């Protein structure tokens, strides 16, 4: 993980775990992909994160 990503995520420590997970994925994808490719990949990730939250509760 890039150092700046860790700094960003450390500022999100007070946020719910789902926001931290999605933010982390967005940053990871943004490092190597175009914005459109990030949007497409995030569609799956946001679904996945909401599903796992529902299963956990």
Partner 1 sequence: MILRRIVVENFRQFRGEQSIAFAHGVLGDGQNVTVVLGENGRGKTGLFRALMFCLYGDQVLAQDEDTKKEELRLVNSIALADASGEGAPVRARVRVDFTHNGIPFELEREVKGYLQAGRQIEQLERVELRYQDNGGNAKKTDIPTDIARIINKILDKRVREYFLFDGEKIEDLTKASAAQRLAVAKGIRCLLDIDDLERSISALSRLTDFLGKEYSKVSTGEYAQTINRLNEIQNNLESLNTHLDEIDSEIVLGEDEIRHYTAEQAKDSEAGSLVAERQRMDEQRANLEKEAGELLVQMKERVGPLAVLLAEEMVEDVYQTLDDKRQRGEFPAKLRKDLIESILEQRECICRRPIVPGSSAFDAIIEWKNHAVDEAVEDSAMNLWRVLSGLQGRFEDLRMFLETTVQKYSNLRNAIETAHQNIESISEQLGSDPRADNSKLESLRKAAEARVIDGKAERLKIEDEIRDLELEQSTLKAKRAQLEKKEIEKTELAERVALSAHTQEALAAVKSEFTAEIKTQLANDASAILQSLLDAEGRRMLRRIVVEDNYSLQVHDPWGKPFLANISAGQRQVASIAFILALARAAAGGDVLEMPLFMDTPFGKLSWQHRENLINVIPAAAAQWILLATDTELGRREAQLLMRGGSWGGFYVLRGLPDGCTRIEEVDVDEALTMLGEVEVTE
Strands, E assignment, the chain: none
Asked if 54 interacts with partner 1 (CB under 8 A), we say: yes
Q: Is the dihedral of CA 24, 29, 32, 35 positive or negative?
A: negative
Asked if 52 interacts with partner 1 (CB under 8 A), we say: no
Cβ–Cβ under 8 Å, residues 5 and 27: yes
Asked if 48 interacts with partner 1 (CB under 8 A), we say: yes
Give me the count of residues in the chain.
57
Q: CB 19 → partner 1: shortest distance, Å? A: 5
Contact residues for partner 1 (CB under 8 A)?
Answer: 2, 4-5, 7-8, 11-12, 15, 18-19, 22-23, 26-27, 29-35, 37-44, 46-51, 53-54
């Amino acid at each position: 993980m890039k150092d700046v990503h860790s700094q960003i995520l450390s500022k999100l420590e007070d946020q719910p775990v789902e926001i931290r997970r999605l933010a982390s994925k967005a940053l990871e994808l943004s490092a190597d992909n175009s914005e459109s490719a990030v949007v497409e990949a995030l569609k799956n990730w946001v679904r996945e994160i909401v599903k796992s939250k529902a299963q956990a509760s």
